[in-house]
Amino acid sequence: MTAKKQLRVTLVRSLSGRVAAHRACVAGLGLRRMHHSVVVADTPENRGMINKVSYMLAVEEA
């Protein structure tokens, strides 16, 4: 059985003054505030959201 790949995503820049679609991507990833980290599955959907707001995130393999 293979283990699912996971990513640790951390919000490192503020949501203040950001485009609504970018705020929605951050919320969709489950991030709530600055320096909050979540572990998400490495799926194409999550990768798309991460790529869209990559300038606000720090990403590492979990």
Domain count, the chain: 1
Q: What is the mean pLDDT of residues 12-41?
A: 97
Q: What is the mean pLDDT of residues 3-7?
A: 90
Structure tokens at 44: 């194409």
Tokens 């949501």, residue located: 15
Give the rounded percent of residues in the chain with a pLDDT score beyond 90: 92
- Looking at the domain assignment, is residue 13 inside a domain? yes
- Looking at the domain assignment, is residue 18 inside a domain? yes
- Looking at the domain assignment, is residue 26 inside a domain? yes
Question: Taking the model in full, what pTM does it have?
Answer: 0.90
- Looking at the domain assignment, is residue 24 inside a domain? yes
Q: What is the pLDDT of residue 1?
A: 58
Give the CATH number, domain containing residue 29. Answer: 3.30.1390.20
- Parent domain of 56: 6-61
Tokens 């572990």, residue located: 39
Q: Beta strand 57-61 with 37-41: parallel, antiparallel or unpaired?
A: unpaired
- Looking at the domain assignment, is residue 1 inside a domain? no
- Looking at the domain assignment, is residue 39 inside a domain? yes
pLDDT level of residue 2 (50, 70, 90 thresholds): low
